């Protein structure tokens, strides 16, 4: 197992450095990013106080760079702002490998949601049936990368594909509006059918809707990290509330508990009387 307890992609930094090659305003942000990255990696544990320190660093970085990012033309299409939160989750969960003594996949990924067979003919069905693996992009995933092998009995060749099976999937939004929630609700339904033990969170900074029924969906939790409406951002001299460290601590502990459980153990019903969520 690797001893490198750090993010696997640095999704925000890679985008920022790539775009900074052609933008002087972004080049000025690179030292700020490098400092955020180094300081976040230097926090060695995941106590509540250390998670709060990570959030303090996140707030300071966002306060420094987002005025520049927001002022850029087509800033929403660049997705630099949401990728800050995505990379933060890479920092937050980068110690899980050591905690669970496993090599985990923990990065933005496309998770498995379905497999459909679509052979061209009866002959193909018997000899080598075509199939389609459906995947869904997630902003952050904790899980496993598996090789799926399909073999027809008696055939000389097999078909191989790599799929990602998420144990946790997190969607990151700058703000959450109704159509985004509807999309996430549909995704949660597909994810839970394919991987019923996947924990599915939606995490936004601001809220941009009044009516919805997320409790009817299969989303496990929705977090609004700034506890603030998106409409307030248009106010004169607007100052955003900081991202709430208590909410981030709750996200971490929820994930930690979920990953520590035995998700399915029918034998436990004979000892504890409960078949689900049995502590390890």
In whole angstroms, what is the distance from residue 280 CA to residue 104 CA? Answer: 18
**Which residue, among 172, 238, 235, has the nearest Cα to 205 in the 3D structure?**
172
pLDDT at 213 over 70: no
Average pLDDT over residues 217-235: 86
In whole angstroms, what is the distance from residue 169 CA to residue 180 CA? Answer: 16
Q: What is the pLDDT of residues 175-202, one digit of tens each?
A: 898 889 889 999 999 999 999 999 999 9
* C-alpha angle 72-75-77 in degrees, rounded to nearest 5: 145
In whole angstroms, what is the distance from residue 56 CA to residue 225 CA? Answer: 13
Neighbours of 252 (CB within 10 A): 18
pTM comes to 0.89
Sign of CA dihedral 157, 161, 162, 163: negative
Confidence of residue 73 (pLDDT cuts 50, 70, 90): confident
Neighbours of 230 (CB within 10 A): 18
Report the pLDDT value the prediction gives residue 248, as an integer from 0 to 100.
98
Report the pLDDT value the prediction gives residue 261, as an integer from 0 to 100.
86
In whole angstroms, what is the distance from residue 90 CA to residue 142 CA? Answer: 10
Report the pLDDT value the prediction gives residue 70, as an integer from 0 to 100.
87
**Which residue, among 272, 130, 276, has the nearest Cα to 197 in the 3D structure?**
276
Report the pLDDT value the prediction gives residue 35, as an integer from 0 to 100.
98
In whole angstroms, what is the distance from residue 237 CA to residue 113 CA? Answer: 44
For the chain, what is the mean pLDDT? 89
Lowest mean pLDDT among 26-40, 53-67, 121-135: 121-135
pLDDT at 245 over 80: yes
Average pLDDT over residues 1-18: 84
Give the C-alpha distances (Å, rounded to integers) separating 51 from 66, 201, 212, 224. Answer: 22, 18, 31, 17
pLDDT at 2 over 70: no
pLDDT at 97 over 90: yes
pLDDT at 43 over 60: yes
pLDDT at 260 over 60: yes
Burial class (CB in 10 A: 0-12, 13-18, 19+), 2: exposed
Start-to-end CA span in the chain (Å): 22
- φ, ψ of residue 112 to 5 degrees: the values are -70, 135
Report the pLDDT value the prediction gives residue 237, as an integer from 0 to 100.
81
């Amino acid at each position: 197992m690797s001893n490198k307890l750090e993010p696997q992609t640095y999704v925000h930094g890679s985008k920022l450095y790539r775009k900074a090659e052609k933008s002087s305003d972004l080049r000025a942000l690179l030292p700020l990013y490098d400092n955020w990255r180094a300081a976040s990696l230097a926090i060695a544990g995941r106590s509540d106080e250390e998670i709060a320190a990570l959030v303090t660093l996140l707030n300071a970085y966002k306060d420094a760079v987002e005025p520049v990012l927001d002022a850029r033309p087509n800033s929403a299409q660049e997705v630099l702002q949401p990728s800050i939160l995505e990379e933060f989750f890479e920092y937050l969960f980068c110690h899980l490998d050591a905690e669970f003594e496993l090599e985990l996949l923990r990065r933005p990924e496309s998770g498995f949601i379905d497999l459909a067979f679509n052979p061209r003919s009866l002959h193909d069905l018997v000899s080598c049936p075509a199939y389609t693996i459906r995947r869904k992009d997630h902003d952050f995933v904790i899980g496993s990368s598996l090789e799926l092998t399909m073999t027809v009995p008696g055939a000389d060749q097999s078909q191989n594909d790599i799929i990602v099976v998420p144990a946790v999937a997190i969607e990151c939004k700058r703000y959450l509006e109704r159509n985004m929630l509807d999309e996430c609700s549909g995704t949660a339904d597909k994810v839970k059918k394919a991987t019923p033990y996947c924990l599915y969170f939606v995490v936004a900074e601001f809220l941009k809707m009044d009516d919805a029924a997320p409790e009817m969906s299969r989303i496990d939790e929705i977090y609004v990290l700034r506890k603030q409406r998106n409409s307030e951002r248009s106010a004169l001299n607007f100052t955003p509330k900081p991202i709430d460290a208590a909410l981030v601590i709750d996200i971490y502990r929820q994930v930690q508990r979920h990953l520590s459980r035995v998700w399915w153990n029918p034998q436990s019903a004979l000892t504890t009387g409960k078949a689900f969520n049995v502590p390890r």
